[in-house]
Structure 1
Amino acid sequence: PAAEGNLDLREAILSFLKDEEGLDYGTSEILVASGGRPLIYAAFRAICDKGDNVIYAVPSWNNNHYTHFVEGGHIVIQATAENNFMPTADDIKPYVKNATLISLCSPQNPTGTTFRKQQLEEICDLIIEENKKRSEGEKKLYLLFDQMYWHLTFGNIKHYDPVSLRKDIRPYTIYIDAVSKVFAATGIRVGWSVGPADIISKMKAILTHIGAWAPMAEQKAVAYFLGKRESIKTFLSNFKKEIEERLHRIYDGFVVLRNEGLPVDAIAPEAAIYLTIKIDLAGKKTIDGKTIDDQSEVTSYILSEAGLAVVPFYAFGADRNNPWYRLSVGTCKKEEIDEMIGKLREALKKLN
């Protein structure tokens, strides 16, 4: 395939983005690769030199690893439940002067939460104002915006993206997107990035050496598929309904457990396929007198006693003692939800 992706696929993606999200980019401003991961890696490599500071919040998906790969400086923001684990402009503002890249994701993996319009506008304004202060020869402050789950919002939640909110941020914004999550096609390795042509060109050169092209057959299939707008709408309508039902039923179950006085909590689902849950068992004792010392042991206990596999936020860069988790409904069967909540209740009640 062409290093930047086949022309028919790039044109199909650009048409789709313009019609569905209002983003208007040209064929020199898009790069296709074998999923989102190589594109994120290429963006970090294209933008960051050794020692450049990268601002990212935790929990978040692999920002710590990509910053490590480029030997960048880690400016880590500990996001909190009070803001649904989304970073704010106030969190970011103290660090923009000496930063090269801000990495954001909305809807976010692992939290299933999103930026509100004003939140994202304020962050965009920070970046725009900072770049106005930088001299002509000085490296600018860029924004990497991962919107992999942007179709999958529920209820009154609306997806917002930087360039649609602030046109002046366009020269500094790189989007990451793919078919894998929103179309339940994790085995179809086709992702894309849109952004300023000079950055996209550098990313293309990097991926050419890596060989991270999307397979030809899959490129042709996705180009054809993206033209089937009515079929896509039909699919997404049902897909979103099924995901939302699973997320809300599990969330409701956690609310019941919390109201029963058990040490759990959850944040109402907003988007993606994830529910943010809290299981705060560190320090409690099992029926055989063993103390659960830390979150690693909490995770193991919940898996062995309740049969529930969840991923701790410390796997996404948060503190090791953080009691919050990502629960995915990617393989969840609706008929098993009540049983799962019941098993979790039993496991929690065994502790003292």
Structure 2
Amino acid sequence: MALDLTPLLGPRRDDTISTMVRGLVGSEILRIAGEIREVVAQGKQVCNLTVGDFSPKEFPIPPGLSEGIATALKAGETNYPPSDGVLSLRQAVLRFYERALGLKYPLESVLIAGGARPVIYAIFRAVVDPGDMVVYPVPSWNNNHYTHMVGARHVPVVTDPEHGFMPTVEQLAPHLKEARLLCLCSPLNPTGTMISPEALRDISQRVVEENRQREAQGRKPLIVMYDQIYWTLTFGQTKHVTPLELVPELAPYTVFVDGISKAFAATGVRVGWALGPPSIISRMKDVLGHVGAWAPKAEQVAVARFLDDVPATSGFLEVMRRRVDERLVALHQGFTAMQEAGLPVRSIAPQGAIYLSARFDLIGKAGLKTNDDIRKLLLDKAGFALVPFQAFGLKEDTGWFRLSVGAVSLEEIRAALPKVEAVLRESAGK
């Protein structure tokens, strides 16, 4: 007979956990996603634009990748991988970057991990000490939580829709003198916008200038974390740029965050990587070696083979971009038509990633006081599920939301838009 421990465990006790964990805020996105699952389980039809994930039904991973994983498993690739990644994958990533981005790195500059999240955590752990200053724009994904976990000082820089929610050098400059880590991301989660080459060049040059002064003073340099996990997903005439192609002198201070999760709709395959200065990468490897946040070996072997299959990767990405873009465009055109009809909604034309930024200007109307009020209204009356920018570090109730299209069909979007319009007409008294 099993020993029932339930009576001994008692209620939750805060004195058993650390101060850091006690102050750690759980993911608002995952909380909302859980709420949506409950609503769907009750039988309600929902156009779920909340999670930054892909439905395998709508966006299956490339056949060559899934077949490669199966082949690697059958071949017995099931033991521990090297702590910095399988050699063939590290080499394939280097070839991929040289071929697609024009950036040539040495082998010591690449680190493989179980997705991009461990990479980001390792960057924070490798370069940031407690009390150091971390500068990051808001809205942005999880920089606030990683900063909290390492005990650093938060410097959130609030951006604006006029600049696509991207930071400018004028906004960042006052904080760079003291900063240890600057977090940038393009295409940006949650907004689906991209930084302009001019803005990125200005920021990169300012960081180089700052680090030249620090070197003369014997101070630690300012490191840039450049998260480009969505860089293969760009639309229209918008072109992805890296800071190093604009200002190569930034290379000793830049760590890229990347992986296959978004490019190949492979969020559950868990293969990510970092590229950067070997001095930082080697210490990140040590951090992840203790955490054990490696990508599974079979997946690494399969990704290495797939990245080197240029026709397969190029063909998949071409179709992927088109299918993501048509969903984003359908939303944007729908909101634009509503705006032109005088309804309180606007959106920013899609540029990259799988996200659309939309503002529902309903604060103060129909008794709505917060973004969460708007979110619940759209969910209850239109079956339209989305995430407020508060989930990405922005405190103000501005009416801005993230809409993610990886888990919905084009038909679901088209069916939902008239319901959203009806809610807006009712709430705005149109």
Q: Could you tell me how far apart the structure 2 residues matched to 1:293 and 1:138 are?
A: 47
Asked whether the 8 Å contact 1:266–1:276 carries over to 2, the reply is yes
Tell me the residue number matched to 2:124.
Answer: 44
Q: Secondary structure at the match of 2:215?
A: coil
2:418 is matched by which residue type in structure 1?
Answer: G
Q: Could you tell me how far apart the structure 2 residues matched to 1:184 and 1:191 are?
A: 13
**Percent identity (aligned):** 46
Tell me the residue number matched to 1:162.
Answer: 243
Q: Could you tell me how far apart the structure 2 residues matched to 1:329 and 1:198 are?
A: 38
Q: How far did 1:332 drift?
A: 2.0
Q: Which has the larger radius of gyration?
A: 2
Where does 1:120-131 land on structure 2 (aligned, <5 Å)?
120-131=200-211
Asked whether the 8 Å contact 1:273–1:328 carries over to 2, the reply is yes
Asked whether the 8 Å contact 1:314–1:322 carries over to 2, the reply is no
Q: 1:89 aligns with which of 169, 182, 206?
A: 169
Q: Comparing 332-341 with 214-223, which one deviates more in the overlay?
A: 332-341
Q: How far did 1:245 drift?
A: 1.1
Tell me the residue number matched to 2:373.
Answer: 297
Q: Secondary structure at the match of 1:277?
A: strand
What's the RMSD between the two structures over aligned residues?
Answer: 0.9
Given the alignment of the two structures, is residue 256 of structure 1 paired with residue 332 of structure 2, yes or no? no
Q: 2:416 aligns with which of 340, 347, 351?
A: 340
Q: Secondary structure at the match of 2:182?
A: strand
Given the alignment of the two structures, is residue 246 of structure 1 paired with residue 327 of structure 2, yes or no? yes
Asked whether the 8 Å contact 1:175–1:194 carries over to 2, the reply is yes
Deviations 1:6-49 (A, max 9, x none): 11110011111111111111111111000000100000111111
Tell me the residue number matched to 1:227.
Answer: 308
Q: 2:194 aligns with which of 102, 106, 114?
A: 114
Given the alignment of the two structures, is residue 68 of structure 1 paired with residue 148 of structure 2, yes or no? yes
Q: Could you tell me how far apart the structure 2 residues matched to 1:106 and 1:100 are?
A: 20
Q: How far did 1:66 drift?
A: 0.7
Q: Secondary structure at the match of 2:177?
A: helix
Tell me the residue number matched to 1:197.
Answer: 278
Instruction: Give the TM-score of the pair, scaled to structure 2.
Output: 0.80
2:102 is matched by which residue type in structure 1?
Answer: G
Q: Secondary structure at the match of 2:373?
A: helix
Q: Could you tell me how far apart the structure 1 residues matched to 2:228 and 2:317 are?
A: 16
Q: How far did 1:112 drift?
A: 0.4
Shift >3 Å, 4+ stretches:
none
Asked whether the 8 Å contact 1:52–1:100 carries over to 2, the reply is yes
Q: How far did 1:98 drift?
A: 0.7
Q: Secondary structure at the match of 1:350?
A: helix
Tell me the residue number matched to 2:77.
Answer: none
Q: How far did 1:331 drift?
A: 1.5
Q: Comparing 292-301 with 38-47, which one deviates more in the overlay?
A: 292-301
1:323 is matched by which residue type in structure 2?
Answer: G
Q: How far did 1:323 drift?
A: 1.1
1:18 is matched by which residue type in structure 2?
Answer: E
Q: Could you tell me how far apart the structure 2 residues matched to 1:65 and 1:124 are?
A: 25
Tell me the residue number matched to 1:288.
Answer: none
Q: Unpaired runs of 5+ in structure 1?
A: 286-290
Q: Unpaired runs of 5+ in structure 2?
A: 1-80
Which of 1 and 2 has higher RCO (CA within 8 Å, sep 6+)?
2
Q: How far did 1:226 drift?
A: 0.5
Where does 1:10-21 land on structure 2 (aligned, <5 Å)?
10-21=90-101
Q: 2:233 aligns with which of 130, 141, 152?
A: 152
2:97 is matched by which residue type in structure 1?
Answer: L
Given the alignment of the two structures, is residue 330 of structure 1 paired with residue 422 of structure 2, yes or no? no
2:317 is matched by which residue type in structure 1?
Answer: L
Q: Could you tell me how far apart the structure 2 residues matched to 1:324 and 1:284 are?
A: 15
Asked whether the 8 Å contact 1:77–1:91 carries over to 2, the reply is yes
Q: Could you tell me how far apart the structure 2 residues matched to 1:297 and 1:305 are?
A: 12
Q: Could you tell me how far apart the structure 2 residues matched to 1:100 and 1:338 are?
A: 46
Q: Could you tell me how far apart the structure 2 residues matched to 1:326 and 1:182 are?
A: 19
Q: Secondary structure at the match of 1:111?
A: coil
Tell me the residue number matched to 1:31.
Answer: 111
Q: Secondary structure at the match of 1:100?
A: strand
Q: Secondary structure at the match of 1:129?
A: helix
Instruction: Give the TM-score of the pair, scaled to structure 1.
Output: 0.97
